[in-house]
Amino acid sequence: MKRPPSHRLSYDQDALFSGQLIDRGKQIHFHLDGRKFSGFKGDTVLSAILGSGVDTMGEAFDEAIALSPNLCPPIALKSAPAIPLPLNRTRVQSGQEYISYDGQIAKIERQKTHLKNLARSIFKKFNRSLEYDFSQGTDINGAWDEDVTSSTLNVDLVIVGGGITGLSAAQYALEKGWRIALIEQRPILGGDARFFGAVEGEERPDVFLQKLLAPLKSASMLKMHTSTQAVSVTSTRVRAHQLSYEKNSVTSSIVEFKTKHVILATGMLERLPLFPGNRLPGVIGSRTAFNLAMNYGVWKGKSIALCTGSSAATQVALLAADMGIKICRLADSRINPNSRFFEFAKAYGMSLATGLQVVSASPHKLGALEVQLGLVNTPSQLSGKPLIVDQLIVCGGWQPDLSLWHAAGGQTKWNGKKQQLQAFGELENIVLAGSCQMSGDLGSMSMSECSISGHIAVQEFSENALAITPASTQTISHESADGLLPVSEQKYGESVCYLDSGNSLARPQKVDTKFNWRLFLPSILQRFMQTQEDVVTGYSINDIVARVILNEIPKDYAGIFAKERCGVSGELLPSSQLNGNKSTGVTKTDEDTPHNVSVPPDFLIGRFGSGAVMVQLELSSNETLDIGCLIYPDHEELVPHHAIGAVTATQYSTQDKVFAYLNISELDSTHPIVVFNGTHGINAHYVLMHK
Amino acid sequence: MIAGMLASEHKKRVCMFIDNAVQLQLSRELGLAFDFFTRPQTWEILRLSQVQLLPIITKISGGDVIKNVNPLIVCHRQDSVDAMGHLYHLFMGNDWEIERLSEHKYTPAFAAFRLRKIKLIRAKILWPALFNWLNTLGVEIFSPQDLEIISHRDGSATLNAQTQSMDVQRMVLADEQAIHTLATHSDIDRLFTKSYTTSLITEPVEDITEAMILSPEFGFSARTCQNNSLEVLAHINMEMLGGLLHKNLPGEHSIRRAGRATFPSLVMRDGAPLAGKIGRSSIWGIAGFGHTGIFFAPALARLIADRSSALEARYFELRLGSSKRQMANIVDFSSLHGEENI
């Protein structure tokens, strides 16, 4: 087979994109689904296969879809196929054999691509795809969310998010003598400080972080859990998924933190600009590209176009240029924006094209992309010829990550100016801090603002709260605010447009990028089709933001929709598997419990008049009656309206007795009555039990 | 629906306080012409009212709005099996289609029944048409968030909404949520059990063959949508709903949430519907009709307009929310079985 392309940047000790978490001197070989891959010590399975040249997850809607940290399948060890592991958080181990997680394979169904594979082996072509087919379902993340809790830890405070905000909160909470657990899903602490950079007057992010981290590392009351993902939050507990490694295996577990307080410092989500082809292999978010390059040196190809509406993303182009990557186009959707990054770009000899957005992207030869740009206000007006690049790096602005806030029952509302869902209201014992609480004009808050916000969050839990000036987002005169989410006009025949880069694979509802055959149906059939329910899936918060921007959800109700549909994914388990809560509160009475034969059920009282009493019935035949059989004075009118009683209990298992609630005011015990068993009447008379 | 009928049939000037978000929210009720009423009188009113409602609803929303369903009913507890036994014979006696499933997929200890040709109103079609209809009838619609109420002893009230002030002859809290917000604590405690209701929508579930499953326990309902996702409602919190859902579905399934909402709700203590004055106040309340609420709209509109038939008048007289409520004679099967504050 042809040697796979290396999707790694060359090593430069002084460069930020050097792959800080990997040791290039220690190469590791492993297998995934029988395919051999190589990586470096410190790689995750995902970064190793991305670095080995795989960039495609499989196909969705008849089109290739990119493999990325936001959409990657659960895997398992071949030796433990029933335990799902996250591809993007599992550290690769030498000689390990990984397989796709079987539980999900059943849902997703790998493509039957024997012919394709045969052709590849004949032509010695490298397979860039993991060959997943999403036509059956898309839910491939989070298979571990509902795992059984393996350990429980009691703490005073759980901080979700190990960025500047979370670390500052931890620092302040330590002063109060609290036991703290800090949960960070990435392998390193510091959040997006390195990506957003320092603002004027601040130290470099690495220096800032070093000073912040130094005292925390030795603090006995603080335990920092990296590569750990919080999966659910309530006012008293946080559940998190954790991996632990032994010599030749990895174990997956859910840790439950019982806590008095929770701080959510979950930062921001990067939004995906809306254009056809926005999830083709080679299209990548600016922060994702930054983190893959910084942590693992992973980078596809030698040329990029970068299109953003947020200044910080520009930094990715500058750092890539440092590594010898050709910057074919640096475009910004804002009109004449100002940023310190643009001044740096000029120094690199790059020119910034403003007022441009991506109109479409489509696959080109040898894994490259053909990218068409257009004017922002009139996207139909194209800007020059299509660009042919190895990667298209995009940034559609930022959205506070309120997924866990929603999951905990928190509310949000739409901020039209920033095109964001923002938190409002309160939750018991849970507070938001940092950029997820209040984003700045430049995407994230500055580092110093995040630090103050972390302190305030801790202060909110203190009985003697001191007045700390609330963090206000910094406005810097020479930095333009983030732009609106770029939305391309979509036309028939173009590629698929997704609302977000996550696992929902939600697409715009009103505009179908594919041929809309429904338009050719008679109008009555069109109407029928409109009555079909939408495809139902859990939405990401960015899906909802995009749908509001596309006017698919009214702005006023975006928060309500988000509250019900965001952060809800997860499997509903039978009660026997409910962790730590074996009882569902449902009283299961499978046994035939004895009836009280001396009193009628409440809902019969008064139904047959004031003369109704409990009686025993003596039947003229040995037929079996069941509870609810109605009793009539004669055979004349066997309709419920004329019923004078009903069977309330039977004791066939012991004495063949039948009891009834019967109005006897106009009957004596010798008077024959009729019990209707649903098909025919049975003669009977009653025996009084009580006066 | 009541507001529209008051405006159209009874020529009343109506203003309504409703959150438009209801169209986007997960379902709060089924709109099904069935609930676990064991009292024949309730069925009598429901059947008469339904006959009047269906042509109106078809006229405003089109024929697709109404669908016949054949719900499966499952019971796990002896008291609910007994209640269903009484309901079974009530249906049989009236020649309404019901079947006791003796050899069903469920374990023998569970009782299961099949209802047939029960009317279901499809909310997604109804809501937009309903708002259009109300607009054409001149019903003024306001957001409840803007509402300020000054109630008077004679049953009238002054409502301040946005920039307008209105004097109304009768104020009706037309569902449990409105009662929860605006009725007095003592009246709520006297009439209702406080609970939580969870509304859930799942991702498509494979091999679900039942269109609708109901259980008298916890007011459970699960409706299979056209894309095989399930819409589930129950008077239970989210954590417990998973167990209840798995217990009530035939077979074993992998079920994943796609949306959920849990909200405080009120369940009638005596299990019987409520229509009329609440407590000593002059405010009216309507509650306890369960999934069937919309089907009672014609009868309830007549009640509010003081035009009830003799039969309806007798029925609703016992089901007031005041101290005159004839609790002993109207008690019905309660989905919570006295479970307080689940």
Angle between helices A314-322 and A286-296 (to 10 degrees): 30
Least confident range from A135-139, A415-419, B287-291: namely A135-139
Is A558 in contact with A566 (CB distance < 8 Å)? no
Q: Is A675 strand, coil or helix?
A: strand
ipTM of the modeled complex: 0.88
Judge whether A578 is closer than 8 Å to chain B, CB to CB: yes
Q: Using CA atoms, how far apart are residues A73 and A142, in angstroms rounded to an integer?
A: 9
Chain B contact for A203, CB < 8 A? no
pTM for the whole thing? 0.81
Instruction: Determine contact, residues A24/A9, Cβ cutoff 8 Å.
Output: no
- Say which of B44, B89, B247 has its CB closest to residue A586: B247
- b/e code B5-42 from CB counts within 10 Å (16+ = b): bbbbeeebebbbbbbeebebbbbbbbbbbbbbbbbbbb
A576 DSSP assignment: G
Least confident window among A97-111, A171-185, A449-463, A629-643: A97-111
A129 pLDDT higher than 80: yes
Given CB atoms, is A551 within the 8 Å cutoff of chain B?
A: no
Phi first, then psi, for residue B53 (nearest 5°) are -75, -45
A136 has pLDDT over 80: no
Contact by Cβ (8 Å): A576, A150: no
**Whole-number percent of chain A with pLDDT over 90:** 49
Residues in Cβ contact with B276 at an 8 Å cutoff, skipping those fewer than 6 apart: B284, B285, B303, B316, B319, B320, B321, B322
Residue written as token pair 């988000």: A562
Closest CA to A393 of A68, A80, A93: A68
What percent of chain A shows pLDDT beyond 70? 82
A545-559, pLDDT tens digit by residue?
999 999 888 888 889
B51 in contact with chain A, both atoms CB, cutoff 8 A: no
Report the run of H or E that residue A76 belongs to, with start and end.
strand A74-77
AA letter at B220: F
How high does pLDDT run on average in chain A? 84
| CB nearest A532 (choices: B93, B226, B342) | B226
More confident residue, B342 or A624: A624
Contacts of B271 in chain A (CB under 8 A): 602-603
Q: How confident is the model at residue A274 (pLDDT cuts 50, 70, 90)?
A: very high
Q: Do B88 and A578 touch (CB under 8 A)?
A: no
How far is CA A439 from each of CA A195, A205, A312, B88, B264, rounded to the nearest angstrom? Answer: 15, 18, 14, 59, 32
Residue A653 near chain B (CB below 8 Å): no
Residue A498 to residue A513: CA distance in whole angstroms: 10
User: What's the rounded Cα separation, in Å, for the pair A71 and A54?
Assistant: 13
Taking the Cβ of residue A239 and every Cβ of chain B, the question of whether any pair is shorter than 8 Å is answered with no
> A412, A555 in Cβ contact below 8 A?
no
The pLDDT of residue A557 is 84
Below-50 pLDDT ranges, chain B:
338-342
pLDDT tens for B108-145 read: 557 899 999 999 999 888 988 999 999 999 999 888 87
Interval A512-530 mean pLDDT? 43
Give the residue from A301, A227, A277 showing the smallest Cα distance to A51. Answer: A301
Angle between helices B297-304 and B310-317 (to 10 degrees): 80
Contact A569 B242 (CB under 8 A): no
Please state, in angstroms and rounded to a whole number, the distance separating the CA atoms of residues A258 and A3.
Answer: 50
CA atoms within 13 A on the CB side of A85: 29
How many beta carbons lie within 10 A of that of residue A11, not counting itself? 14
Using the predicted structure, report yes or no on whether residue A513 has a pLDDT greater than 60: no
pLDDT reported for residue A587: 42
Inter-chain CB proximity B261 and A531 less than 8 Å: no
Residue ranges of A 381-420 with Cβ closer than 8 A to chain B: 409
Chain A residues within 8 A of B90 when measuring between CB atoms: 628, 630, 640
Interchain contact, B242 vs A593, CB within 8 Å: no
pLDDT at A2: 53
Q: Per-residue pLDDT for A534 more than 80?
A: no
- H runs (alpha helix) in B70-169: 78-93, 123-136
pLDDT at residue A657 in the model = 86
Among partner residues A531, A537, A587, which is closest to B64 by beta-carbon distance? A531
Rounded to an integer, what distance in angstroms lies between the CA atom of residue B76 and that of residue A588? 6
Q: What is the pLDDT of residue B99?
A: 93
Predicted pLDDT at A470: 47
pLDDT-wise least confident of A65-79, A461-475, B3-17, B289-303? A461-475
Q: What is the pLDDT of residue A590?
A: 41
Q: Do B94 and A640 touch (CB under 8 A)?
A: yes
* Per-residue model confidence (pLDDT) at position B328: 76
What pLDDT, in 10s, does the model give residues A556-584?
888 988 988 887 777 776 755 443 333 33
For A563, the 3-state DSSP assignment is helix
Q: Are B4 and B130 in contact (CB under 8 A)?
A: yes
Range with the poorest average pLDDT among A375-389, A587-601, A677-691:
A587-601
Q: What is the pLDDT of residue A463?
A: 63
- pLDDT for residue A581: 35
Query: What pLDDT sits at residue A653?
Result: 65
Give the minimum alpha-carbon distance from A161 to chain B in angstroms, rounded to a whole number. Answer: 25
Q: For residue A439, give the nearest of A118, A151, A192 by alpha carbon.
A: A192
User: A132 touching B, CB under 8 A?
Assistant: no
pLDDT of the residue at A288: 97
Hey, are the CB atoms on B21 and A537 less than 8 Å from each other?
no
Q: Is the pLDDT at A331 greater than 80, yes or no?
A: yes
Q: Is A611 on the interface with B (CB under 8 A)?
A: no
The pLDDT, as a whole number, for residue A529 is 40
Helices (H), A519-630: 523-530, 541-549, 558-565
Helix, strand, coil fractions of chain A, as percent rounded to 5? 20, 30, 50
Distance from CA of A336 to the nearest CA of B (A): 39
What gap in Å lies between CA B84 and CA B69, rounded to an integer? 19
